[in-house]
């Protein structure tokens, strides 16, 4: 297995994000659903390959969450634009991710190191976000009639978004784990 395989999958996910947006804006929800599912599946596959074959890299550790957030956030913005998700929800998700990115940059620039490993609830939140994106796109493509399920996912993600932001803020306001 080539050492670059997990990172190549991460780059493919990054490239999928603008394609998904374009498909959503064209209202080609069926193809958008399948591209989004491809991105979601490759998220699991790249991590498995990296761990299983000892191909974990510093680039991959950065690329994986960036690709996840890019695909999910671009999809949420596009689906909000098309009236498929509420604005307050998209703003909440983007605000949390902006705070996390800002905290990461500030600690790096100040030569302080905080552990930015994802909390288990944050991983669950990302999983719920991927599921919600799939539901919204598939419901728009295939009229599945799952609006109540979409509403439930939206509220569950809103709750875990607020909770995980609190968890991270609490962790970051403590002492750094080591000097960089």
Task: Write the pLDDT tens digit of every residue in 8-45.
Answer: 999 999 999 999 999 999 999 999 999 999 999 998 89
C-alpha 121/C-alpha 117 separation (Å) is 12
Give the model's confidence band at 179: pLDDT under 50 very low, under 70 low, under 90 confident, else very high. very low
Domains and CATH numbers, the chain: 5-179 (1.20.120.1760)
pLDDT tens per residue, range 84-109: 999 999 999 999 999 998 888 887 77
In the prediction, which pLDDT does 138 show?
Answer: 99
Give the model's confidence band at 113: pLDDT under 50 very low, under 70 low, under 90 confident, else very high. low
**pLDDT higher at 121 or 171:** 121
In the prediction, which pLDDT does 116 show?
Answer: 64
Asked if residue 162 has pLDDT above 60, the reply is yes
In the prediction, which pLDDT does 176 show?
Answer: 56
**Pair of tokens at residue 84:** 């498929």
**pLDDT higher at 1 or 45:** 45
């Amino acid at each position: 297995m080539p050492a670059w395989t997990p990172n190549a999958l991460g780059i493919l996910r990054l490239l999928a994000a603008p394609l998904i947006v374009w498909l959503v804006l064209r209202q080609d929800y069926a193809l958008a659903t399948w591209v989004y599912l491809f991105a979601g599946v490759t998220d699991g596959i790249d991590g498995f390959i990296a761990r299983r074959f000892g191909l974990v890299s510093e680039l991959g550790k950065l690329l994986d969450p960036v690709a996840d957030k890019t695909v999910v956030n671009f999809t949420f913005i596009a689906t909000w634009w098309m009236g498929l998700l509420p604005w307050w929800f998209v703003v909440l998700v983007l605000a949390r991710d902006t705070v996390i990115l800002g905290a990461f940059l500030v600690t790096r620039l100040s030569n302080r190191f905080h552990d930015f490993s994802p909390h288990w609830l944050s991983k669950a939140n990302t999983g719920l976000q991927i599921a919600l994106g799939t539901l919204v796109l598939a419901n728009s493509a295939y009229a599945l009639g799952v609006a109540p399920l979409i509403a439930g996912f939206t509220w569950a993600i809103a709750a875990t978004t607020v909770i995980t932001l609190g968890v991270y803020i609490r962790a970051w306001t403590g002492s750094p784990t080591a000097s960089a």
